[in-house]
A and B are shown apart, each in its own frame.
Chain A
């Protein structure tokens, strides 16, 4: 809808027209503030926490990931390339092999990810049903945004 509006303004002689085509849903997913009487739409991106995700890089060694998994409460490590794109996941079962191997040799490929615009309430219900405590959130191009937990979604949904 907004592209048509933008072109209509252009046709009417407006000289500096910008189209935020990703729109209000994208804005909300970034966690940016909104105004209005509500109800407010809740999406996963609002509670995606980058600091809650343990990450490692392609080319890193299994030994280092194993040490990280031992020293922090995380139960997995997200494998990223130099563009911050999620390529895999390392869990404790993946670090049992030779410590000098590179992570991409033993990582789980294609971990499930979802987009920040995912409606929070429906996602929470699915996670509860499937007993998934946490999911990875990426951009549509695969770049890591963060992780979303059931607890964070619960709090978000209850705020209304």
Chain B
């Protein structure tokens, strides 16, 4: 899969450091081609109304180790909510 330099840099910057990396919509589209884990952290009702393709729902209020166990902590994960306000 072809990956633009900016996305590669974002992935490289996060490798091993763990620090969350802010990404744009276009970077997200590229990451989705690599089958990242996409998580909507809004309440279930908002997720059911509409969500990004392929996203799973883990509301922030339910961020327990048990609920997060469905994610692979060694693979890229992208979180999002409604907007940046």
Contact = CB atoms under 8 A, between A and B. Distances in A.
- The answer on A and B forming one complex is yes
B50 A20 contact: no
A28 B39 CA distance: 16
Contact of A16 (B22, B60, B76, B81): B76
Nearest to A38: B49
A30 interface: yes
Contacts of B50: 24, 28, 34-38, 40-41
B3 interface: no
Interface residues of B, number: 48
Contacts of B63: 5, 8
Contacts of B25: 20, 22, 26-27, 30, 32
Given A10-B20, A26-B25, A18 B39 contact: no
Interface of A: 1-10, 12-28, 30, 32-41, 117
Interface of B: 10-11, 14-25, 27-29, 31, 36, 39-42, 47-53, 55, 60, 63, 65, 68, 71, 73-84
21 contacts: A5-B39, A7-B20, A8-B63, A15-B14, A16-B18, A16-B74, A16-B77, A17-B21, A17-B79, A18-B14, A19-B20, A19-B22, A20-B24, A20-B25, A23-B82, A26-B25, A27-B80, A30-B25, A32-B52, A36-B47, A39-B49
